């Protein structure tokens, strides 16, 4: 397998009782993440980006389940491949916190209030290594220094409520990186933080990435964060990937009207003062998707066909995927050219 992680046809179900079919919160997601790649996943809240990434760790919260026919393959350090969707729980646990780790949106609630920071870092070491107490202490201290926490000795003995959100997020990063994982999933790591702290955390993550051989999946609703940290990006809308390309292409050769809308609603990017753009309407809820394109009701370029048939995710240019009827012709064109 050339990739570190491959998602094929991943769907996530919300069961609706025994008699009714489950609601598909996420459908037909294909993603590939290379080694040392920084991959962005962007979309509005509720679009399925976070649960997709939880599924990668086998951490879907009750009552969500992974849909039939989904495949999530991960390459381990020794080069062997594992299928996460069918991995026994005990094997999955060995992966979590060691090969794949995760940072969450709310640092204030992501740590157990009952235990010291030190204990919560040590725990991660204890699950995956057989270090002695003294070694664990040294490793933890070292790691806190790497994430630039002042007075690390003191912090190890502190409880989470003693620390600010920014400090806690640094602790979370320390916990996530301490076992030198191959993949780090960062789920909106800066959303809950003050703007100044956000920049610090992103800088820290960029810096640490240099020294670790870690691939990063950055989940965010903020294209600014993507621009700053990622190489490739997938845009999620209503449980599907609607566009995927390198960051440059997404920003400059935007294909999907939804991505265009997202870009236009970002304040800082244009530089000049414009009236803030908003995409009209709201995201349809899972189970209420129309038969056609899921974005049709909100789209400025909506055509007759958009309401009738769902567009497929097609390659509009090499390495640039888009799910839109506007570009269906171009895709055909591209196919023909490829055939010739």
Partner 1 sequence: MKNYAIRRILQLIPVLFGISVLIFAVMKMVPGDVISGILGIEATPELRAQLAAKYGLDRPYVVQYLDWIGGVLRGDFGESIRTSAPILPEILTRFQVTAELTILAAVISWFIAIPLGVLAAVKRNTLVDRFVRVFALLGVSVPGFALSILLILVLSLAFNYFPPLGYVSLFEDPLRNLQMMILPSAILGVSISGSVMRMTRSSVLEVLRQDFIKTVRAKGASERVAIFKHALRNALIPIITLVGMQIGSLLGGAVIVEQIFSLPGLGQMTLTGINQRDYPVVQGCVLFIAFVYVLVNLITDLLYAYIDPRISYD
Residues binding partner 1 (CB under 8 A): 54, 57, 59, 61-63, 89, 93-98, 101-102, 104, 106, 109-115, 123-124, 127-128, 159, 161, 172, 175
236, 42 contact by CB (below 8 A): yes
Can you tell me the distance from the alpha carbon of 103 to that of 246, in angstroms, rounded to the nearest whole number? 23
- How far is the first Cα of the chain from the last one, in angstroms, to the nearest whole number? 29
Q: Name which of 49 and 96 has its Cβ closer to partner 1.
A: 96
Can you tell me the distance from the alpha carbon of 119 to that of 101, in angstroms, rounded to the nearest whole number? 18
Least distance between partner 1 and beta carbon 207 (Å): 23
Q: Name which of 188 and 243 has its Cβ closer to partner 1.
A: 188
Least distance between partner 1 and beta carbon 133 (Å): 17
Can you tell me the distance from the alpha carbon of 261 to that of 299, in angstroms, rounded to the nearest whole number? 9
Least distance between partner 1 and beta carbon 146 (Å): 18
Question: What dihedral do alpha carbons 30, 86, 73, 322 form, nearest 10°?
Answer: 0
Compute the half-sphere exposure of residue 48: CA atoms within 13 Å on the CB side of its CA.
Answer: 28
Would you call 65 exposed, middle or buried from its count of C-beta atoms within 10 A (0-12, 13-18, 19+)? middle
User: Three-state DSSP class for 228?
Assistant: helix
Least distance between partner 1 and beta carbon 253 (Å): 36
Q: Name which of 102 and 245 has its Cβ closer to partner 1.
A: 102
User: Three-state DSSP class for 323?
Assistant: coil
Q: Name which of 109 and 265 has its Cβ closer to partner 1.
A: 109
Q: Name which of 76 and 264 has its Cβ closer to partner 1.
A: 76
Least distance between partner 1 and beta carbon 33 (Å): 18
Would you call 185 exposed, middle or buried from its count of C-beta atoms within 10 A (0-12, 13-18, 19+)? buried
What is the 3-state secondary structure of 104-157? CCCCCCCCCCCCCHHHHHHHHHHHHCCCCHHHHHHHHHHHHHHCCCCCHHHHHH
Q: Name which of 205 and 279 has its Cβ closer to partner 1.
A: 205
Least distance between partner 1 and beta carbon 69 (Å): 25
Q: Name which of 80 and 90 has its Cβ closer to partner 1.
A: 90
Q: Name which of 62 and 151 has its Cβ closer to partner 1.
A: 62
Least distance between partner 1 and beta carbon 111 (Å): 5
Residue of 220, 192, 199, 187 whose CA lies nearest to 107:
192
Least distance between partner 1 and beta carbon 118 (Å): 13
């Amino acid at each position: 397998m050339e990739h570190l992680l491959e998602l094929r046809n991943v769907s996530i179900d919300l069961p609706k009782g025994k008699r009714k079919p489950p609601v598909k919160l996420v459908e037909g997601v294909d993603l590939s993440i290379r080694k040392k790649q920084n991959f962005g996943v962007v979309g509005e809240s509720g679009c399925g980006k976070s649960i997709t990434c939880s599924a990668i760790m086998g951490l879907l919260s009750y009552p969500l389940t992974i849909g039939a026919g989904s495949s999530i393959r991960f390459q381990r350090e020794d080069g062997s491949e594992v299928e996460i969707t069918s991995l026994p729980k005990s094997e999955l646990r060995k992966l979590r916190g060691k090969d794949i780790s995760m940072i969450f949106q709310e640092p204030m609630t992501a740590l157990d209030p009952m235990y010291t920071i030190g204990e919560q870092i040590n725990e991660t070491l204890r699950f995956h290594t057989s270090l002695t107490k003294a070694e664990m202490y040294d490793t933890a201290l070292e790691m806190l220094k790497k994430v630039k926490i002042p007075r690390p000795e003191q912090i190890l003995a502190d409880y989470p409520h003693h620390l600010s959100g920014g400090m806690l997020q640094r602790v979370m990063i320390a916990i996530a990186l301490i076992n030198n994982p191959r993949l780090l999933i960062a789920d909106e790591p800066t959303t809950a933080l003050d703007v100044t702290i956000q920049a610090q955390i992103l800088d820290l993550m960029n810096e640490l990435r240099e020294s670790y051989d870690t691939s990063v999946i950055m989940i965010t609703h903020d294209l600014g964060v993507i621009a700053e940290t990622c190489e490739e990006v997938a845009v999620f809308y209503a449980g599907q990937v609607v566009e995927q390309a390198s960051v440059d292409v997404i920003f400059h050769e935007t294909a999907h009207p939804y991505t265009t809308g997202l870009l236009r609603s970002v304040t800082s990017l244009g530089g000049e003062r414009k009236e803030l753009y908003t995409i009209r309407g709201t995201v349809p809820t899972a189970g209420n998707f129309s038969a056609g394109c899921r974005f049709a009701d909100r789209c400025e370029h909506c055509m007759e066909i958009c309401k009738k048939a769902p567009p497929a995710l097609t390659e509009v240019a090499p390495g640039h995927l888009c799910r839109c009827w506007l570009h269906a012709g171009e895709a055909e064109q591209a196919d023909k050219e490829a055939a010739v």
